């Protein structure tokens, strides 16, 4: 589980040994991390590449304007967006 104890949300990653779930992501299933400070954004992208993930073109060109999209072997995508998240 990943989350802040005071936040009303969290991410939970689960698995069941011996149970295979067919891949179901689409190019629009995204986990987006907003990194407003450019050095932090660049460092995060460098870490992704160091772990073997290459940036892929985003399905929605909006994400390519200020970010990089990475896809894992199952087809799930993470966007590192160099911007503030404003409501």
Q: What are residue 63's DSSP bridge partners? A: none
For residue 71, is pLDDT > 80? Answer: yes
Q: What is the pTM of this model?
A: 0.76
Task: Determine the structural domain holding residue 63 and report its residue range.
Answer: 30-81
Contacts by 73-77, CB closer than 8 A, 24 or more apart = 74/23, 74/25, 75/23, 75/25, 76/25, 76/29, 76/31, 77/25, 77/27, 77/29, 77/30, 77/31
Mean pLDDT in residue range 34-62: 95
Residue 4 lies in a domain: no
Residue 8 lies in a domain: no
- Determine the straight-line distance between the first and last CA of the chain, rounded to whole angstroms: 24
Task: Provide the domain count of the chain.
Answer: 1
CATH number assigned to the domain comprising residue 46: 3.10.180.10
Residue pair 44/33 in contact by the 8 Å Cβ criterion: yes
Both tokens of 49, joined, read 């590449």
Q: How confident is the model at residue 87 (pLDDT cuts 50, 70, 90)?
A: low
Q: How confident is the model at residue 19 (pLDDT cuts 50, 70, 90)?
A: confident
Residue 3 lies in a domain: no
Residue 5 lies in a domain: no
């Amino acid at each position: 589980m990943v989350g802040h104890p005071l936040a009303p949300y969290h991410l939970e990653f689960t698995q069941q040994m011996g149970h295979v779930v067919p891949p179901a992501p689409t190019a629009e299933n995204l986990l987006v991390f907003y990194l407003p400070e450019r050095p932090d954004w660049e460092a995060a992208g460098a870490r992704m590449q160091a772990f073997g993930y290459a940036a892929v073109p985003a399905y929605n060109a909006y994400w390519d304007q200020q970010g990089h999209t990475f896809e894992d072997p199952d087809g799930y995508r993470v966007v590192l967006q160099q911007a503030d998240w404003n409501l």
